[in-house]
Structure 1
Amino acid sequence: MIKRKVYIAGPMSGLPDCNRGAFHLAADVHRALGHIVLNPATLPAGLAEHEYMQICTAMLMCCDEIYLLDGWQQSDGAKAELAMAQKLDFKIVYQEGIDHEITLRGLSA
């Protein structure tokens, strides 16, 4: 069985702790589903925005699916990542209000 490689995208700039909690919860759910997850929220603090985008572009290029967290529309970076994923014909999945904590509880029950 080939595992899906999923890139998590969403808003980070200007949010408390760069929205890492939402990214990590989504990543945990995808891992529980057996996916390989590339999560930009694991990158260290202190880089410039263009450096994050360079790294994230390379991460995205390793995937075959992009998962967009709620609020992605307010993120220039997530919109750019979505455009690239569309151009490369990746599977595109939207969070659309999914409660990851409930999903994780269901997966571990």
Structure 2
Amino acid sequence: MKLYLAGPMTGLSKLNLRAFHEEAARLRAMGYEIANPVEFNVDRNAGWQACMRVDIPELVKCDGVRMLGDWESSPDATLERHIAMKLGMKVEYARQMMV
């Protein structure tokens, strides 16, 4: 199963990269294939539209979405969840705090 990671980044210390990397590593160790936006959006200065133009095509290639902690505070993660749900994809919720 391939999961897309969605969670808050904008305005957080170091874009919350640690939480994304840790969840990706944990899920990969369990045998999941992971689409981690921090791995394919490498230009940290790219604008929102540029990032979402990369993220959304990657999202729709997945079987489901894994929502990181505090996803509700992120308009981006909320949008990604909405897309996944409308497409009938599985949505899972991580029980982790932001770092």
Question: TM-score under structure 1 normalisation?
Answer: 0.83
1:26-105 paired onto structure 2 within 5 Å:
26-42=23-39, 43-44=41-42, 45-97=44-96
- Structure 1: unaligned runs, 5 residues or longer: 99-109
Q: 1:24: Cα distance to partner?
A: 0.4
The 10-residue stretch of structure 1 (11-20 or 35-44) with the greater mean CA deviation from structure 2: 35-44
Counterpart code for 2:57:
A
Look at both structures and tell me which one has the larger radius of gyration over its CA atoms: 1
- Aligned pairs, number: 95
Q: Which runs of 4+ in 1 moved over 4 A?
A: none
Q: CA deviation at 1:95?
A: 0.9
User: Matched residues in 1 for 2:73 and 2:56: separation?
Assistant: 18
TM score, norm. by length of structure 2: 0.91
Deviation per CA, 1:32-72, whole angstroms, max 9, x where unpaired?
Answer: 11111000112211211111111110110110110000110
Letter in 1 for 2:81: L
Deviates more, 1:53-62 or 1:88-97: 88-97
Superposition RMSD on alpha carbons, in Å?
Answer: 1.1
Percent of residue pairs bearing the same amino acid type: 34
